[in-house]
Structure 1
Amino acid sequence: MNKPDFIQSTALRYFLEVVQRGSITNAAKHLHVTASAVSRQILALEELLEAPLFDRLPRGMRPNPTGDLLAAHARRASLDAAAVISAIDSAQGMHQGHIRIACTSGFAIDFLPATMAEFRLINPGITFALQVEKPATISQRLLNGDVDIGLTYSRTAQKDIYVNYAQAGSVVVVMRPDHKLAKRKSLTLKQMHGHEIALPGPDNTVRQLFDIACSNRQLAFEPVLQCNEFETLLNFVQYGGGLTIAGTTSVIHRQLREPLHYIRLNEPEASARSVQIQTLSGRVLSKPMQAFILSLKSRLQKE
């Protein structure tokens, strides 16, 4: 068997399981085969390619740079096969399909539920699976083939991630309408300093931009509450807890139903990230996925 034929065979499936499970034993359990069968496939791949694919560790296996390269190919091949099947199923229209999405918590509250519900009114045969993740995890989900579309805030380009659409993100300060600062059209950190504030955790991109701006202005804020749950921060503010910060897209729909006030944070650092619709670079997307990305883009442009 030549190399191109072999690296499209069952060996790839076994190889990917070892990459994802971290050991031959764990991969074999998940595949319901013997460990020796998995080991033979891995050794055959390495012999055919004339290169080791893993670093053998005391407690498992980790793909080396060559293994990472093959894993990227294997994931794309698997996803492309799924996309072809989906495309065949929807050749006469978008009668059926399944879209897997990963997003940060702010998009999961209003933006995505509204977009998915609106999309299904026109395409009732399309179903969704939504995972809420930290920003740093979303790209990995795409690379692993766990999801089809990522919706997140990002500050840097990432290898093997294709950005289908990006637009500048802004940050707002959230407060009750009766707060002392509520009559201002915009706010600086200096104007906010001294007021009670609740902040998201340090892995949140809004918090990261806020911290960078504070450092540049030599201002220190001591949050009265730090929490990684966005809903908790908004409820804390609504009950009189002071201020918090959020991305505009995360809160724009809430203005219609909750008595909270939103004022733009007027600091250059606040616009140093973008809202991005991401997919795996080089992946063939099904017709429903392409259509839903257009729906996401359209809604973002309106907000």
Structure 2
Amino acid sequence: MHASILKYFVEVARCGSIRKAAQNLYVASSAVNRQILKLESEMGTDLFDRLPNGIRLNAAGERMLQHIRVTLNDFHLMRSELDELKDERKGHVSVVAMDSLFVDFLPAAVEDFSELYPAVTYSIAAVTPWDVPSKVLGGEFDVGVTFIAKLPAGLDVAAQVALPPGVVMASSHPLARQERLSFADCRNHAFLRLEGRSPIQGVVSPKFAEFWDLLTPSVTCNSTTLLKRLIASGRGISFFSKLAFVEEIASGEVVWRPFDEPNINALTVGIITPTQRALPNVTHDFVRGIVHRLKQVELSLLDT
């Protein structure tokens, strides 16, 4: 059986939903469903009971899951042993990124990469978007993920996608009915702020900086996870890229609306590396993996 089929099966079994599994895997629901049907065809039996609100493993599926977990565990042990014999697939990956990447994107990226490179170690830090380039340029980290504006010399952009910051709110919020939002639209609504300067204050026009300084937040904290919960519960609006709300946007729990400001909408999220410093092969492999993942996220969020 192909490794992707096993991975899809385990995720569907864990989630009890093909749609939720597809979101977590950053692939289309149809692709996951197709792999599950293919596996059931190969086994000659259904592995899930189809229910009105999802799917559930049946007895055959439970036995299959048990077998897959043993198989994957043995595979990872074998790969680790081979890597030790070859002294390959080792090394250290250092990444610095803006906080919103720590919700889903980076945890999933590290999980996937660790399956292929179990001996690799990591240093991962969350900083403000405008601090990411200097951290990479100064040699503290080898890879950065942030909003891309004017970068200093000495940095390459491995990939960038159109995921600019916008306004996020509960689907029941009055502003959710509008297609685009001006600063004036946002000014009289409860605002939930991530502690510190605006995540885009250093990369857009002074007009946004003035707007930011006039806002009086009802909640200020340093946790994106806490803000996500408050936003979804209707406590107020906040400013984020869709990257921090992939699951909630897909489910309709929250909505994201662009600003009516070309400078903000032109911002992209990108992966940066140094140009003058040779990086280990394992870091290049990690970068290729997150480039692919970032593009998959962009595709999954089209028209949401």
Question: What is the TM-score of this pair, normalised by structure 2?
Answer: 0.59
Percent identity of paired positions between Structure 1 and Structure 2: 21
Change (3 A) 1:144 1:204: same
Structure 2 residue 251 is matched with structure 1 residue 233: no
In structure 1, what is the equivalent of residue 151 of structure 2? 157
Identify which range, 110-119 or 158-167, moves more after superposition.
158-167
Structure 2 residue 241 is matched with structure 1 residue 247: yes
Structure 2 residue 261 is matched with structure 1 residue 267: yes
Opposite residue 119 of structure 2, the aligned amino acid is: G
Change (3 A) 1:113 1:258: farther
Deviations 1:227-265 (A, max 9, x none): 443233223323432111101222224435783332233
Aligned pairs for 1:179-198 within 5 A: 179-198=173-192
Q: How much has 1:219 moved relative to structure 2?
A: 11
Change (3 A) 1:120 1:199: same
Change (3 A) 1:262 1:93: farther
Q: How much has 1:195 moved relative to structure 2?
A: 1.8
Moved over 6 A (4+): 215-219
Opposite residue 294 of structure 1, the aligned amino acid is: R
Answer yes or no: is the 8 Å Cα contact 1:206–1:247 preserved in 2: no
C-alpha RMSD of matched pairs (Å): 3.2
Q: How much has 1:196 moved relative to structure 2?
A: 1.7
Structure 2 residue 126 is matched with structure 1 residue 129: no
Distance 2:209 2:129 in 1: 22
Distance 1:225 1:143 in 2: 34
Distance 1:183 1:258 in 2: 13
Distance 2:199 2:144 in 1: 15
Q: How much has 1:110 moved relative to structure 2?
A: 1.1
Deviations 1:120-156 (A, max 9, x none): 2233333322111223433333244322211122322
In structure 1, what is the equivalent of residue 112 of structure 2? 118
Q: How much has 1:106 moved relative to structure 2?
A: 0.9
Change (3 A) 1:189 1:98: same
Change (3 A) 1:217 1:97: closer
In structure 1, what is the equivalent of residue 169 of structure 2? 175
SS at match of 1:142: helix
Answer yes or no: is the 8 Å Cα contact 1:202–1:208 preserved in 2: no
Which runs of no fewer than 5 residues in structure 2 stay unpaired? Answer: 1-82, 299-304
In structure 1, what is the equivalent of residue 63 of structure 2? none
In structure 2, what is the equivalent of residue 100 of structure 1? 94
Distance 2:248 2:211 in 1: 31
Distance 1:217 1:233 in 2: 20
Answer yes or no: is the 8 Å Cα contact 1:94–1:287 preserved in 2: no
Question: What is the TM-score of this pair, normalised by structure 1?
Answer: 0.60
In structure 2, what is the equivalent of residue 292 of structure 1? 286
Structure 2 residue 209 is matched with structure 1 residue 222: no
Distance 2:170 2:89 in 1: 45
SS at match of 2:166: strand
Deviations 1:89-108 (A, max 9, x none): 99x79532221111111111
Identify which range, 108-117 or 277-286, moves more after superposition.
277-286
In structure 2, what is the equivalent of residue 281 of structure 1? 275
In structure 2, what is the equivalent of residue 142 of structure 1? 136
Aligned pairs for 1:201-216 within 5 A: 201=195, 203-207=197-201, 212-214=206-208
SS at match of 2:172: coil
Opposite residue 149 of structure 2, the aligned amino acid is: R
> How many residues are paired up?
214
Which runs of no fewer than 5 residues in structure 1 stay unpaired? Answer: 1-88
Identify which range, 285-294 or 223-232, moves more after superposition.
223-232
In structure 2, what is the equivalent of residue 76 of structure 1? none
In structure 1, what is the equivalent of residue 52 of structure 2? none
Q: How much has 1:173 moved relative to structure 2?
A: 1.4
Which protein shows a greater Rg?
A: 1
Answer yes or no: is the 8 Å Cα contact 1:188–1:265 preserved in 2: yes
